[in-house]
Amino acid sequence: MKILAVASEVFPLVKTGGLADVAGALPAALKHHGAEMRVMMPAYPKVMAALEDAKPVHRYEDLFGGPARLLAGTAAGLDLLALDAPHLFDRSGNPYTGPDGKDWPDNWMRFAALSRAAADAGRGTVKDFAPDIVHAHDWQAALAPAYLHFTPQPAAKTVLTVHNIAFQGQFSASIFPALGLPEAAFSIGGVEYYGDVGFLKGGLNYADAITTVSPSYSEEIRTPDYGMGLDGLLRARRDALTGIVNGIDTDIWNPASDAHLALSYVPRNFVQRRLANKRAVEERLGLEQSDGLLFCVVSRLTWQKGMDILAQCLDGLVAQGARLALLGSGDAALENDFREAAEKYPGRIAVKIGYDEGLSHLLQGGADAILIPSRFEPCGLTQLYGLRYGCVPVVSRVGGLADTVVDANEAALDQESATGVQFAPVDASTLARAIERATRLYADRKAWNSMQKAGMKTDVSWEKSAARYAQLYQKLLQS
Ligand code: ADP
Ligand code: GLC
């Protein structure tokens, strides 16, 4: 079974969030399940630089305003089809935004081109690789099912995975003629979306199967509170929709061999050895040395992630004797709030604005708990890293956070199955109480260590979920 995955970012080549981790980890995970997966992505400068043995396998004289070619090659152990279209992708930095921090004005064209190239591959235009399934990720690849729908059959079947329904790729109707879709596609059952063109909307209509990244999120997005305008469509397509929780790459995220840690550890010796990592975090970020509870945050600083709510809870956190190490970047106002909090509480709150893969590993290996107060969270990966690293997740009870963390209620504590703290609904008072609850649990070191152990024992690998994707592909091929 041959699968072509299509994504706008892929770890370790280009990453702005969890989508990249998932797109980068799935191919290896699927290998044991009889699926050969190649990944199509834009040939950004970083991808071009990493691509080995590149061979052109398809050429376009004109793909949305310039010549383009598909390059088959490998990079970072991944089998890639890189879409080399310099007029669209030869731009360094963030894959979506220009130097001014704003979305590139031609993003519709860039990602329609990616989708078009994937659809072409899905009807067998690429030498040596005719996929049975085209698996598109998020709005940037979501037109692939639309293009394939209007292709003479037989062509590949399509799967669309929604990683975050907040990002929909909505553009003015004036772009429609340039997309090269038939007139009939500009309709309510097609890409038309409140008079505009919706890339995600189109993909959701035309994909043979839809997945999202946790069972709870697959239910939430069928409701007006979480569906962001697409809940009606998702209710209508409920039979095509499944939730498959993300796994993590347990080789890259392995406390037993993680080079970013001061000291590696395994479940047998984690208590003492994590302490060395805690000292390393304190030293690196200028925090007071203490055995009190050290929280961390590794996150985009946005409304989705509930970071404004956390900012309101910092006085209380410090008053309880806890400390916070925060790594993140995002909204300027939130970055400012956290910088100010660090100035107000030197030694107690440390804030590193920016993106730092290495430090994100050290925080998981050295902090006692990770705070994730998201308003919505399709899956979330940082709680999974936390479980694997014995960094206890304190999370809001939404989406994938609800599905992957076992709350430390009395029953779970008795059975030693608790792995974290959940709270709901998401507001400053419930988060403040969750922080207090975590502090109390931490004071009972036996209970705390048992939670860490249960977390470290949790299967957060891709094993089960890769099997589910493989089953879904099989089912589509038989239908
Ligand atoms: P989302 O994709 O919504 O941002 P996820 O939890 O799925 O949320 O994935 C976020 C990914 O990005 C994780 O791998 C996390 O470790 C990483 N990450 C987020 N912010 C930073 C940062 N400032 N530095 C390093 N890694 C980060
Ligand atoms: C999105 C979601 C996040 C999820 C990630 C990978 O960025 O916000 O919850 O873990 O995609 O699926």
201-249 pLDDT, tens per residue? 999 999 999 999 999 999 999 999 999 999 999 999 999 999 999 999 9
Gap from CA of 22 to ligand 2 centroid (Å) = 9
pLDDT digit string, tens, across residues 241-290: 999 999 999 999 999 999 999 999 999 999 999 999 999 999 999 999 99
Q: Is the dihedral of CA 8, 13, 17, 20 positive or negative?
A: positive
| Site to substitute for ligand 2 among 11, 19, 217, 298, most atoms within 8 A of C-beta | 19
Residue 113, phi then psi, degrees to nearest 5: -65, -45
DSSP 198: E
Cβ atoms of 439 and 321 closer than 8 Å: yes
Q: Which ligand is nearest to the CA of 247?
A: 2
Question: Using a 6 Å cutoff on CB, does residue 383 contact ligand 1?
Answer: no
Gap from CA of 327 to ligand 1 centroid (Å) = 10
* Ligand 2 neighbours by CB, cut-off 6 Å: 17-19, 22, 163-164, 213, 246, 377-381, 400
Instruction: State the average pLDDT for the chain.
Output: 97
Task: Report pLDDT for 460.
Answer: 98
Q: Which ligand is nearest to the CA of 465?
A: 2
Nearest atom in ligand 2 to 377's CA: 9
What is the distance between the alpha carbons of residues 88 and 382, in angstroms, rounded to a whole number? 32
Residue 127: band (very low, low, confident or very high) from pLDDT cuts 50, 70, 90:
confident
For residues 330-346, average pLDDT? 98
Residue 153: is its pLDDT beyond 90? no
For residues 333-359, average pLDDT? 98
3-state secondary structure of 209: strand
Residue 185, phi then psi, degrees to nearest 5: -75, -20
For residues 117-141, average pLDDT? 96
What is the distance between the alpha carbons of residues 81 and 41, in angstroms, rounded to a whole number? 7
Percentage of the residues of the chain whose pLDDT score is greater than 90: 98
Question: Using a 6 Å cutoff on CB, does residue 299 contact ligand 1?
Answer: yes
Structural domains in the chain plus CATH codes: 2-247+463-478 (3.40.50.2000), 267-457 (3.40.50.2000)
Task: Report pLDDT for 313.
Answer: 98
Q: Closest by alpha carbon to 82, among 124, 53, 106?
A: 53
Gap from CA of 139 to ligand 2 centroid (Å) = 13
For residues 377-395, average pLDDT? 98
| Site to substitute for ligand 2 among 211, 376, 381, 395, most atoms within 8 A of C-beta | 381
Residue 155: is its pLDDT beyond 90? yes
